Amino acid sequence: MADLDLWPRLVLAILATWRVTHLLVREDGPGTLFARARSALDDGLGAGLLDCFYCTSLWVAAPLAIWVASRPLDVAITWLALSGAACLCERIGQRDVVVQPLPEPIPGEDDGMLRTPEPEPGDRDGVAATGR
């Protein structure tokens, strides 16, 4: 395959891999066709088959890799590249994950643990002396 023919095929295969995978995993489709297919698969042998974008992109990319490349090693590498590129396209469209630090606990405040504190020396029967 000529290099000039490779790049358009590769770009088209990347976009097609992303589009078909997104359609199968994230969209309901016309007449909720894909939503019903996902529900039917969840009840049978294909449970979870269309739940993961990354996993589904591997299966969608396989036939497209054969369309892009001709030699067996090139097909295998193109298969993984198409899936990876579709995953990158999917991540580009998602919101950023923001990790915020937890607030510092206020000294002396109950920290919400279920375990009771160890009794201090001088406590009677595990009950702290209050001075009353």
Predicted pLDDT of residue 68: 95
Comparing 132 with 60, which gets the higher pLDDT? 60
C-beta of residue 23 within 8 angstroms of C-beta of residue 34: yes
Position 1 confidence tier, pLDDT thresholds 50, 70, 90: very low
Q: pLDDT tens, 115-131?
A: 666 777 766 655 555 55
Cβ-based burial of 34 (10 A; exposed 0-12, middle 13-18, buried ≥19):
middle
Q: Mean pLDDT over all residues of the chain?
A: 83
* For the chain, percent of residues with pLDDT exceeding 70: 77
* pLDDT tens readout for residues 54-78: 999 999 999 999 999 999 999 999 9
